[in-house]
Structure 1
């Protein structure tokens, strides 16, 4: 029977992921997932590994609900407090969405600017300031933090196994930055799911996840694969209407708790 075999959280957008054994789920997905984001100081535009691959070497650890702990090779650790109600609001953008969110302060900005080699700021999104998920794929009130478009991403372990075989070498799951991994399902079975239940929590499957150049970055070193894999292989058999798809975006129907080993029931 399909079951939950992987749980990953990315506290800061485009920084390294955290491997979890269990996690609460709230109105924005896994608790603490992509609540922090780096933006260009002048424009407020979001910055990711697409532009700066060295972002993937930043460890950003969620410290309960009160702070974020930043570390990187050769850098001192820095604890960044969750901004309070008096924090300056900053105009930022994520793709086509614009919003105002609290700035995390000068110490975090200095730390990140030094590591990334450009003038940037760190911002945080509380639930009340989160974005509406695209109405074409969601209900009114479905929210997302700083993830590209949806609060959760699911990939089948067998799908990665099939892709790895086609590429000719094992691929790391973290290369694709999922939140949920399901084992004991057929390769790409998730493509046909519309509604699932994991433990006691239901999820709507919103749409396939279109992939970009970030899949060619080693999740540990940030180095780009010279052969543009696995994107080159995905394009040969997973391209549709000019987009390359791998994995499925989910929206949770309420809040709950997930733990590795929970059964995954396909409801529709």
Structure 2
């Protein structure tokens, strides 16, 4: 029986993830305590989101969840502490993530100065507002309105270990080094299946309560080239994927992993070691 082997929460979009042994699953993604996946995001002075695509050193910005604060650390920087409770007086800042525009909570000048110094560019930190709404593209979710926060577009990303093993074997055969799973930044990793079986799944059932539905193959950009430990971009494993992972469902883009939405089980706990029942679409 397939089992979950990794769960990862990314409090700040495009910064380092936090590996967890269990989390609460919500319609908008994983949650641990008061912290949701991709709840914070960095934007430039025009409100446009920024990521490791432009600033690979964001990979070295790490978070730790405390009782009252999110602690943020980076090399040669003093720790930054972000309050977990929402500030009802926070200024609203218009932001854009891909084609989607919304108002977010500005996290203030101190946080903006910290991240601007860290990245060497003027930017601001924003938080997904308690009043905001953003939904995944119904072209892929159908009649289901699936909320998400500052993810690229969907609340959860699932990849099987076998898919990475297949890629790494091909990489080694071409004289390149294998890469860890964190290059692809999934929320849920499971083993016990064949490579890319997740592509053909109709649903994932976990703990007889949680039902996940795959909706869209995940197109890949330059980010997997970034070493998540050093923040340095090198050879891109997507180069290897180009030989066999062009997907006609997304106009021939190179895909790896599946974006999924929650069909049932809001508020349930999901944990490393949980069995995953996979229904294959025929």
TM bucket, shorter chain? over 0.9
Partner residue, 1:84? 87
Structure 1 residue 44 corresponds to structure 2 residue 52: no
Q: Structure 1 residues 79-88 or 23-32, which shifts more?
A: 79-88
What is the root-mean-square deviation in Å for CA atoms of aligned residues?
1.3
Calculate the TM-score normalised by the size of structure 1: 0.95
The number of equivalent residue pairs is 264
DSSP-derived class of the 2:57 partner: helix
Q: Per-residue CA shift, 1:54-112, capped at 9, x if unaligned?
A: 11100123345x53211001100010124411110000000000000111111110100
Partner residue, 2:74? 72
The CA distance in 1 between the partners of 2:253 and 2:212, in whole Å, is 24
DSSP-derived class of the 2:190 partner: strand
Q: Per-residue CA shift, 1:107-147, capped at 9, x if unaligned?
A: 11010000011111101114541311101112443111000
Calculate the TM-score normalised by the size of structure 2: 0.90
Structure 1 residue 185 corresponds to structure 2 residue 188: no
Question: Where do 4+ consecutive residues of structure 1 move more than 2 Å?
Answer: 60-64
The answer for unaligned runs of 5 or more in structure 2 is none
The CA distance in 1 between the partners of 2:37 and 2:14, in whole Å, is 11
Partner residue, 1:209? 218
The answer for unaligned runs of 5 or more in structure 1 is none
Structure 1 position 229, deviation (Å): 2.8
Change (3 A) 1:172 1:187: same
Partner residue, 2:183? 175
Q: Which residues of 2 match residues 19-168 of structure 1 at below 5 A?
A: 19-31=19-31, 32-41=36-45, 43-63=46-66, 66-82=68-84, 83-138=86-141, 139-168=143-172
Are 1:167 and 1:229, in contact at CA under 8 Å, matched by a contact in 2? no
Structure 1 residue 223 corresponds to structure 2 residue 211: no
Partner residue, 1:9? 9
